[in-house]
Amino acid sequence: MAKVLKFKDVNSDVEHRMKEFEKLRVKFKADVKKAEAKRVAAGKPSKGIFKSISEFFTDSPANAVAKR
């Protein structure tokens, strides 16, 4: 038979999961800031995903070999 959950149990579980999610969100934001700080410190300009993909498709293999 299925276990019948009380509202209090369900509510506390939801609150617990929300707290875990908030911790993960804060950790992820901190990791993103650290990575951004490393890029700035290295002096390498950051490229967006769109720019990276468009450069990949605009460069022909012959041009890529010539650049190296």
- Please give the Cα distance from 29 to 48 (Å, whole number): 18
pLDDT value, residue 22: 93
| pTM of the full structure | 0.46
In this predicted model, what pLDDT tens digit does every residue of 19-54 receive, in sequence order?
999 999 999 999 999 988 888 777 766 667 777 777
Contacts of residue 67, Cβ cutoff 8 Å, sequence gap at least 6: 59
pLDDT band, very low/low/confident/very high, at 1 (cuts 50, 70, 90): very low
Length of the chain: 68
Of residues 61 and 25, more confidence is placed in 25
- What does the pLDDT average to over 55-64? 64
